[in-house]
Structure 1
Amino acid sequence: MALTEKKTGVSRQFAASSAVAGLARDQVASALREWELSFLVPDAALVMGELVANAIVASGLADVIKVHVGFRVAEVVLAVWDRCDGRPLVQKVELSLETLDLREENFDDNGGWGLSIVESLASRCWVEPTRPSGKWVCAALKLEERR
């Protein structure tokens, strides 16, 4: 695990594994507390977890993902890189008690609304393609809306 820390951001590289989501959330929480932005931790950790989950799905077993949290004047930027060129798809999910399948064997089938959650919490979302392949999927959380 490589760590690069700058005054305005923290970036790490991880193996593409489902275990990474918790590490990425911890990285976000630690950076925000250091920057005295603790009030953003719940939303930022949720957004980062969803971005990481999508990057892992887009990655192969031997791939790496990169995670970044950066502080700008009026916002915090959360970003995750994966090697896949495909853009993430936002599924519009109408969730109700009637459509939710709570049977244990179908637990994982109830997902698919992660990027919708990200869009609802973020002030803006975007994708930055990288060369020769891959992309950064980014979300910004405004500071003044949450204080």
Structure 2
Amino acid sequence: MTATASTVRTLHVSRLHLVAVASAVPVAREFVYQTLEYWKLNDFADDAALMMSELVSNAVKATGLPGRQPKPWEITAQHVMAIQLRVVGDELFVEVWDRSSDEPVKQTVTAEAEGGRGLHLVEALSKNWGIYRPPAGGKIVWAMIATAQLPNPALDGSTLQLRVPDDLKPQDGPVKDQASIALMQRVLDGLCRLL
């Protein structure tokens, strides 16, 4: 019996729950920049932030209140979304969960069109992208970037904390739990495929 060398693949995950409103887009971008700076993957931050912006914009359109900032009592479980960055080895995943089962559609755009390029940008910037339907419900739209380098966060015991205004935080409860379960299911399914 001979021993075979196996490659160790590291796993880094950072997640944030948001209310699906227009102001979630800049919060999501800042989350990407802060997380990738902490992981020392700054070279991929611009592309990842642009992809996250497009995916969050689609989630806001699908489940949120895109036209205005809602009053706190107008926010329902339908308006909770979750974003996640995950690095497995040298692959960076940008993931957005929302409760809608409707798939985002790549639109045919003309040179004069002012919008509709989001998924085209995601496709151009990513190595691969797709839609995952977790058992917990809703959908996760994801995109993957091959980084060719491993994350290297400082192991000094500090934690990364992104401050989110209180009026943008979703309430704790079953929908926030559903989002967390859905995203973790995608992580577990990915890990199982590695075995």
TM range (shorter): 0.7 to 0.9
Q: TM-score, normalised by structure 2?
A: 0.62
Query: Which has the larger strand fraction?
Result: 1
Residue pair 1:50, 1:115 contacting (<8 A) in 2 also: yes
What is the alpha-carbon distance in structure 1 between the residues aligned to residue 104 and residue 92 of structure 2? Answer: 21
Q: Which runs of 5+ in 1 are unaligned?
A: 1-6, 101-109
Choose the corresponding residue for 1:22, options 5, 15, 26: 26
- Change beyond 3 A, Cα 1:132–1:10: closer
1:54 aligns with 2:58: yes
Q: Note the alpha carbon deviations across 1:42-71, whole angstroms, 9 max, x for none.
A: 111100000000000000443111000111
In the other structure, the counterpart of 1:104 is: none
In the other structure, the counterpart of 2:97 is: 81
1:67 aligns with 2:83: yes
What is the alpha-carbon distance in structure 2 between the residues aligned to residue 19 and residue 127 of structure 1? Answer: 24
Aligned-pair CA distance for 1:94:
3.4
- Work out which of the two has the higher radius of gyration on C-alpha atoms and give 1 or 2: 2
Choose the corresponding residue for 2:48, options 35, 44, 63: 44
Percent of aligned pairs with the same amino acid: 31
Q: Over aligned residues, Cα RMSD in angstroms?
A: 1.6
The 3-state SS of whatever aligns with 1:87 is coil
What is the alpha-carbon distance in structure 1 between the residues aligned to residue 125 and residue 13 of structure 2? Answer: 20
The 3-state SS of whatever aligns with 2:49 is helix
Aligned-pair CA distance for 1:93:
2.0
Aligned-pair CA distance for 1:132:
4.9
1:103-122 correspondence runs (5 A): 110-122=114-126
Segments of 4+ in structure 1 off by > 4 A? Answer: none
In the other structure, the counterpart of 2:5 is: none
The 3-state SS of whatever aligns with 2:104 is coil
What is the alpha-carbon distance in structure 2 between the residues aligned to residue 132 and residue 83 of structure 1? Answer: 10
What is the alpha-carbon distance in structure 1 between the residues aligned to residue 107 and residue 32 of structure 2? Answer: 25
